[in-house]
Structures are given as C-alpha cells and as structure tokens.
C-alpha cells in the first residue's frame, strides 16, 4: 500500500512542474463556459418547445422497443402509429376517424398541417428510451412523444417530457404508477392499469376457482410487476385466498425454471404470472412443461393466471395459452363499430389483426391530434386542458373518459381466456366478460402523486 502512495505523489510532482501547460488548458475551458449562453432550451421555440409556427407539417416521435423482451409489441405499435398518421393525413380509409365521437379532425392533418413522424428504439431500457426521446425533441423537433412498452420506460420518458415541456402519450403501460404516484401533467394514458385488472378479474376468479385457494406469484421485478402483484394480491386476498409467496424475477430472464421448481412443492394451487411479452411466453411455456397444469394440489386442479394478456403473447405461447385466465385492454374480436373499423383498415394494410398495444397507440395518436384540433393550437397547456375530462366514444371499449385528475382513461375492461378451439391463428382469446367502466373506476387519490404545472 505504501508503494501506491509513492507512485501517486510522484505523479503529482510531475504535474506541478508543468503547471503552465495546465493553465493553458483552463483558459480554453473558461472560454468555453462563456460561449454557450445563447443555446438555451427556450431558443427552440418562441413560446413553447418545438412550436411548428408557420411550418407546413408537424413531427411526432414514435419511441418504441424494437429490440428486447417487448420487441413484438413495439413492432405492432409502430404499425399502428404509421396507420394513424395515414388516417390523420386523409389517406387510406380513415379507420376510426369514421367512428370517433365527438370528432374535430378533418382528415387534412392536424390544424391544417401535415403529420410527419420520426421513430426510435427504446431497447426496453430507460436510458436508451430517454436518449431516443431527447433526440426526437432536440434534433427532430418532435411536438409529441408517444410509445413505450414497459412501464419503467414509460415513466422515465414521461418525466423527461414534463421537464422538456413536450406532450407524452403513453403507449402500452399497465403499471398503476404511470398515472398514479409518477403521473405528470404532460403525460396521458389510454391503456388500463393493474388495479383495473384486479377489480375486473376478481369476480371471475371467485366464480371459476372458488374462495379457498393458495396463490403463488412470480413477478417481473420493476414498477409494473410490483403494482400488478399488489393489485392482484389485494383482490385475491379479498376473496379469501391465501398468498403463499411472491417471488421477483428479472426482466428478460429467458429461463424461469429456477423460479418454477419451488412452486411445485410450495403447497400453492394457483400460479399467478405477473410477466409480459417474451417473459410471459417463456415463464408460461416452462410452467406447462413442468406439468403444473396437470397437477392436483389440495384436492383441486392447479391453475395458472396471467393477469395481463395480449394476443401477441398468446401467439408466442401457442397451445400453452389454452384455458388460461387474464385481462386485456382490447381485442380485435370486439364487435363495436370503432374496433371493427380499426381492425378492417389495419388488416388491409398489414394482412393480420392488430394487438391491444397497436390499438392503444393508434387511439393515443388520434386523441392527441383531436385535442390539438379542439384547442385550436399545439400549445401544450391548451391542448392538455382540451384532453382533460374529454369524454368520447367509438374507439372501442364503449364510452371512455380521460379523467382530468390523473390523466387516466376509463373504459370497459375485458376478462379473457385462452381459446380452447381457436378458429384461426389469430382467434386465440375468448372474451369471458366485459367489465363495465363504472366497476373499474376508482378514486384518483388512492395512488397519490402530483400532476405538476401546466407551464414548464
């Protein structure tokens, strides 16, 4: 250790000898500090960030995971965004513009400006997502950022957008925190959340599995997993179930066998998988391979529940999905005019039906554009006021409210089951129950959090 100090001091002595050259460096540095005062954030727009002014077009930023555990969802989101841009610009068959009520959009862009877009890869990482969003804001002049297929990412980007003064229309994010403790004035969520999943799932679980069950949770270890576990646990314990254990698993783990083995001998008779995307595909497939579904525990049939389901995941999990219960935000089999119009134009464009991620992202883009049209300006505080408390219909899931207190949408939630006899490769989820919006509505205060200021 003494030797270390010797070398250290030797270097220091060396440095002192050449202090002059060091001073030169400092001078350059000082000159640099003085220079940049004209490059401030406000220099981008006279009154707000990325004000399109007299430009003929506006730019939206589509920030989705193109790599990582949620890449499938990201790809579908991007398809939906492109379709939304087409419809906004008056191309294609118009999709939900034909069914949305009330509608201020005219099919000539937004406020007469053509809609353009830039894309980015969030890599399902907060760092990369924020960096990509910053690029869109700083370089590409994006007026609104949307996307995200992970709540951690959505929350990170949402807080960045609040600081930057740019609207964030959250895509697929299901954590209670997004519009709960981490809500922001500049962030809006159309998708439902874990709390609503729990409320919707409760009665069905009681009916199908009874009130005397022992549940074992495997939970994705981040904000979404935590809040979903909490919400589902509250629901099931309310039914009288016992929670045997809750185990956190890393996102993107790939192999879940080490987490599934202990379930076998835990005495639990229900496995709740708080996983999403490829994680859910892997954990469910492995659970089935371990024979969990064929087991009898405590004299009851062992059951697996996936609280948040999507058709893309069902597709990935293949036959394993059959008979599994869960909730979903939207399904292409819904028969209302809005859903039908969307499924039709999406199908014509890409040759297969959209996922719930595609649906929420498509709606979000239209809702943003419509709110700008209502407000008559792109100025965020006005646009926000136009969307707060906005009541609309014709976009799937029945009448929907964008609640002003927490920027959360309230609409019907679907309880679904993996289809036992699918009629096509896309007909994977069977709708068990459509839970009305009044049932899943909760008090905005229960999750805390502050929206923050209109003007930043």
Partner 1 sequence: MNMKDNILVLIFGAVILTMPLWAGIVGAGYPDLLQKFAIFGLFAIGFNILFGFTGYLSFGHAAFLGIGSYTAMWSFKLLTMNAIPAVLFATAVSGLFALAIGFVALRRSGIYFSILTLAFAQMCYNMAYSVLTPITNGETGLTLTATDPRILDAATTEGLPSTELFGMGLSGYNGFYFCAIILIIGFYISVRLYRSSFGLMLLAVKSNQNRMKYTGLNTKPYLLSAFVISGMYAGLAGALMVVIDPLAGAERMQWTASGEVVLMTILGGVGTLLGPFIGAIVIKYFENIFSAFNDAVLNQVFGFLPDFIQGIWVSFASLFVGKGWHLTLGVLFMLIVIFLPGGAMEGFRRIAAKFKKEKEAHSAGGAE
- Write out the residues near partner 1 by the rule CB under 8 A: 1, 3-4, 6-8, 10-11, 14-15, 18, 21-22, 24-25, 28-29, 31-33, 35-36, 39-41, 66-67, 71, 117-121, 125-127, 130-132, 134-135, 138-140, 152, 155-156, 159-160, 162-163, 221-223, 248, 250-251, 450, 452-453, 456
Query: Between 182 and 269, whose beta carbon lies closer to partner 1?
Result: 182
CA neighbor of 213 nearest in space, from 193, 231, 233: 233
At its nearest, how many Å lie between partner 1 and the CB of residue 453?
5
296 Ramachandran zone, left/alpha/beta (phi>0; psi -120 to 50): beta
Whether a cis peptide bond, with omega within 30° of 0, leads into 102 is yes
Beta bridge partners of 61: 118, 145
Closest CB to partner 1 among residues 175, 400: 175
Q: For residue 79, give both structure tokens.
A: 């398809």
Q: Tell me the H-state helices in 115-193.
A: 126-138, 151-164
Closest distance to partner 1 from the beta carbon of 146 (Å): 15
Alpha helices in 255-355 (DSSP H): 257-264, 277-289, 311-317, 337-350
Closest CB to partner 1 among residues 127, 391: 127
Angle, CA 368 vertex, CA 364 and CA 371 arms, to 5°: 135
Measured from the CB atom, the residue of 154 and 366 that comes closer to partner 1 is: 154
For residue 36, the minimal CB distance to partner 1 (Å) is: 5
392/410 Cα distance (integer angstroms): 11
| 3-state helix, strand and coil shares in percent for the chain, rounded to the nearest 5 | 45, 20, 35
Query: Least CB distance from residue 136 to partner 1, whole Å?
Result: 8
**Cβ closer to partner 1: 160 or 324?**
160
Structure tokens at 84: 């939304």
Torsion of CA 209, 211, 216, 218, to 10 degrees: 70
Closest approach, Cβ 3 to partner 1, in A, equals 4
180 or 394: whose CB is closer to partner 1? Answer: 180
Closer CB to partner 1, residue 5 or residue 265?
Answer: 5
**Please, which residue, 181 or 433, has the CB nearer to partner 1?**
181
Which residue, 71 or 199, has its beta carbon nearer to partner 1? Answer: 71
* Residue 210 near residue 242 (C-beta atoms within 8 A): no
Smallest separation, CB 419 to partner 1 (Å) = 31
Q: Name the minimum Å distance from CB 278 to partner 1.
A: 15
Q: How far is the CB of 416 from partner 1 (least distance, A)?
A: 27
Q: Measured from the CB of residue 449, what is the shortest distance to partner 1 in angstroms?
A: 10
Sorted by sequence, the CB contacts under 8 Å of residue 248 that are 6+ apart come out as 219, 220, 221, 225
CA dist 249 and 291 (Å) reads 20
Q: Do 225 and 69 meet the contact criterion of CB atoms below 8 Å apart?
A: no
In angstroms and rounded to an integer, the radius of gyration of the C-alpha atoms of the chain is: 25
> Cα separation of 285 and 296, whole Å?
19
Judged by CB, which is closer to partner 1: 88, or 155? Answer: 155
- Provide, rounded to whole angstroms, the least separation between the CB of residue 8 and partner 1: 6
* CA distance linking residue 217 with residue 226, whole number of Å: 11
């Amino acid at each position: 250790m003494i030797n270390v100090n010797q070398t250290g001091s030797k270097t220091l002595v060396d440095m002192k000898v050449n202090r002059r050259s060091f001073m030169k460096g400092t001078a350059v540095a000082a000159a640099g500090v003085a220079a940049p005062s004209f490059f401030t954030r406000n220099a981008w727009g006279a009154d707000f960030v990325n004000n399109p002014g007299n430009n003929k077009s506006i730019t939206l930023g589509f920030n989705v995971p193109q790599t990582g555990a949620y890449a499938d969802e990201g790809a579908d989101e991007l398809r939906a965004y492109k379709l939304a841009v087409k419809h906004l610009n008056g191309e294609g068959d118009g999709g939900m513009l034909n069914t949305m009520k009330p509608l201020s959009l005219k099919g000539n862009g937004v406020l007469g400006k053509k809609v353009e877009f830039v894309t980015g890869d969030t890599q399902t990482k907060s760092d990369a997502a924020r960096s990509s969003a910053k690029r869109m804001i700083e370089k590409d002049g994006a007026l609104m950022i949307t996307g995200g297929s992970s709540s951690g990412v959505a929350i990170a980007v949402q807080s960045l957008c609040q600081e930057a003064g740019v609207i964030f229309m959250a895509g697929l994010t299901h954590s209670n925190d997004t519009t709960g403790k981490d809500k922001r004035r500049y962030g809006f969520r159309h998708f439902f959340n874990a709390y609503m999943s729990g409320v919707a799932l409760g009665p069905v679980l009681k009916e199908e599995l009874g009130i005397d069950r022992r549940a074992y949770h495997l939970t994705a270890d981040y904000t979404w997993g935590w809040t979903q576990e909490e919400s589902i646990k509250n629901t099931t314990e309310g039914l009288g179930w016992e929670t045997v254990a809750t185990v956190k698993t890393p996102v993107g783990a790939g192999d879940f066998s080490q987490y599934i083995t202990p379930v076998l001998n835990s005495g639990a008779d229900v496995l709740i998988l708080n996983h999403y995307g490829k994680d859910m595909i892997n954990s469910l497939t492995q659970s089935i391979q371990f024979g969990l579904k064929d087991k009898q525990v405590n004299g009851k049939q062992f059951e697996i529940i996936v609280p948040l389901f999507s058709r893309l995941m069902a597709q990935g999990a293949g036959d394993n999905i059959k008979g599994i219960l869960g909730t979903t935000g939207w399904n292409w089999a819904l028969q209302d005019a809005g859903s039908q119009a969307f499924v039709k134009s999406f199908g014509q464009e890409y040759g297969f039906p959209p996922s719930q991620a595609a649906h929420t992202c498509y709606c979000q883009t239209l809702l943003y554009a419509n709110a700008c049209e209502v407000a008559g300006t792109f100025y965020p505080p006005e646009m926000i006021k136009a969307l707060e408390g906005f009541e609309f219909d014709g976009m799937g899931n029945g009448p929907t409210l964008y609640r002003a207190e927490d920027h959360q949408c309230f609409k019907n939630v679907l309880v679904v089951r993996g289809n036992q006899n699918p009629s096509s490769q896309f007909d994977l989820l069977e709708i068990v129950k459509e839970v009305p919006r009044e049932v899943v509505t909760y008090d905005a205060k229960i999750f805390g959090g502050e929206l923050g200021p209109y003007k930043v």
